[in-house]
Amino acid sequence: MANGDKTASVESHEALAVLRETMRRFHGNAQDSTANLRHKAARPLSEIEQIVQAQQRYVDSLESDASNSDDDEDGGDTAELDAARDRLAELEAAQAEAGSIVGEIESELNQFGTVLNELIPRATDFLRGKLDVLNEKAAIRLDTASTPGTGMDMTNPAANRALPAAQTPTASGTTDSVQNVPLPDGYHWVPLSEIDVANELTGVRSPNDFKKVDYATMRRGLETFRNKILPTLNSNRGKTLWDLNAMFRDQDAASGTSYEHGVQRAFEAFFSQGDAIYLDRGRQDNHFKIINGRHRIKAALDAGWTAIPARTKDLRQ
């Protein structure tokens, strides 16, 4: 069966992205932990080796004393020497046993490391492939404000740069206070300055990197979001995601706009459970990683937005 099975549940998209990231983190953490475990397992062995060496020196010194001593003192020396030799033999046996155990521990850790190194990259690639399929299906939703016949040169990235820079969206039309516009439950305005765009957008640098939805179309999707969706959100505070979705559906119906080109579809591009922008920040992280929505974030940055609506997992809080 192909990796990109079209029957896959779109609702699992966000969860798949989180699972993929969690697997990658586990892989890195497990490599560090197993290296530390090897080091710590070797420590008792080293401790035993030192004790054996000390006992060996003690036996050597007793043997040296015995060879230099008078005959009438031999009885006491011999007993002490015998006891020391017995203890040395006992310690050497323990050293051998410890060495064997440490070897077994290393073997277990190596086997686990081999499984990790073999399975996790393949598993995360598998999930990446699955996510690509889901992204491809979901990304069409941004193709809402694309109006045929606008004169936009969809094949020329240079022409696309002529798109007017959108201001950060607010209901009042001003360029700030974006976070005053309410978002549906579960979504937050995340300042773009809190996202690690330098590292997270390395594969999305120019309009040519927008393959599934072209750059101009995506910019227009953002404008639809700014001009039509945010004012509605602002004047309909407290409405559920479901109510808002129905409202945009009704708007489209009233204006005779098809779903394909309507506002509802743009709304779902940001607020569908399956394809929301999803950001993740660990306890020690200063910036968010992007689990889903790199292209939208790049387009928003280019459009001059300072924040973006997203779902987040923020352990720093």
Partner 1 sequence: MKAETGNLQGDWRTLEACWRETREGWNDSVAWRFEHEFWEPLSQAAGKMFRETESLSERLERVRAKVTR
Q: Which is nearer to partner 1, 133 or 183 (CB)?
A: 133
Q: How far is the CB of 24 from partner 1 (least distance, A)?
A: 10
Q: Does 94 bind partner 1 (CB under 8 A)?
A: yes
315 binds partner 1 (CB under 8 A): no
6 in Cβ contact with 133 (< 8 Å): yes
Which of 29/150 has CB closer to partner 1? 29
Smallest separation (angstroms) from partner 1 to the CB of 45: 8
Stretch that binds partner 1, among 28-36, 75-83, 228-236, 240-248 (CB under 8 A): 28-36
How many Å apart are CA 279 and CA 313, to the nearest integer?
A: 6
Among the listed residues 79, 83, 89, 101, the single contact to partner 1 using CB under 8 A: 101
From CA 264, how far away is CA 204, in angstroms rounded?
27
Judged by CB under 8 A, the residue of 66, 77, 85, 120 near partner 1 is: 120
Kindly provide the b/e burial profile for residues 9-34, where b requires at least 16 CB atoms within 10 angstroms of the residue's own CB. Answer: eeeebbebbeebbebeeebeebeeeb
Contact between residue 186 and residue 312 where contact means Cβ atoms under 8 Å apart: no
Q: Does 198 bind partner 1 (CB under 8 A)?
A: no
Separation in Å, CA 280 to CA 144, 190, 287, 291, 303: 27, 11, 9, 7, 23
Taking the complex as a whole, how short is the minimal distance between the CB of residue 25 and partner 1, in angstroms?
8
Q: Which of residues 7-26 bind partner 1 (CB under 8 A)?
A: 7-9, 11-12, 15-16, 18-19, 22-23, 25-26
Q: Give the strand pairing for 307-314 and 188-191.
A: antiparallel
Round to the nearest angstrom and report the end-to-end CA distance of the chain: 42
Among 280, 285, 279, 252, smallest CA distance to 266 is for 252
Question: Under the criterion CB under 8 A, does residue 119 sit at the interface with partner 1?
Answer: yes
The four Cα atoms 151, 306, 201, 146 give a dihedral, to 10 degrees, of: -20
36 interacts with partner 1 by CB under 8 A: yes
Least Å from the CB of residue 241 to partner 1: 17
Our finding on whether 127 is near partner 1 (CB under 8 A) is: yes
Q: What is the DSSP letter of 167?
A: P
Positions touching partner 1 (CB under 8 A) are 1, 3, 5, 7-9, 11-12, 15-16, 18-19, 22-23, 25-26, 29-30, 33-34, 36-37, 40-41, 44-45, 47-48, 51, 91, 94-95, 97-98, 101-102, 104-105, 108-109, 111-112, 115-116, 119-120, 122-123, 126-127, 130
